[in-house]
Amino acid sequence: MEFLGQAGVLGEWELTGNLAENGPGPRKEFSGPLKMKHVGICTQDGPEERAGEIRLQLAGSELQVTAELVLDGARCTYSARKAYAYEGTLSCAGRAPVPLLVWLK
């Protein structure tokens, strides 16, 4: 499954990844590598990039998603409901939560 996301108040971070299904079960679970790239206009020395991992679960006929992300060693959580995209909040320890839109293909 392809993971595409935009994080931040202005969508200044782009998240991408390719996730593999972890096996059959009552909840669909996926995991894989994730890249986070700053695409805002205030970048001075080229885009800042971070690498990490994601574990994602789909529930409720795929209308609800929860995930755990590890980016540069920092653990973050995400929970969202589907509208036109999954709309939720990315929460990382020691930082203010930020909006995160996610599309799964």
| Owner of token pair 């679970």 | 29
pTM: 0.85
Contact 57/48 with Cβ under 8 angstroms? no
Q: What is the mean pLDDT of residues 76-98?
A: 92
**Over the stretch 48-71, which tens digit does the pLDDT of each residue have?**
888 999 999 998 777 899 999 998
The three-state secondary structure class of 27 is coil
Contact 7/100 with Cβ under 8 angstroms? yes
pLDDT reading at 40 higher than 80: no
What domains can be seen in the chain, in order of their start residue? 2-104 (2.40.128)
- If one counts every other C-beta atom within 10 angstroms of the C-beta of residue 103, the result is 13
The three-state secondary structure class of 83 is coil
Q: Which residue has the higher pLDDT, 25 or 103?
A: 103
**Over the stretch 12-25, which tens digit does the pLDDT of each residue have?**
899 999 999 997 77
Residues whose CB falls within 8 Å of the CB of residue 21, separated by 6 or more in sequence, listed in order: 1, 28, 29, 30
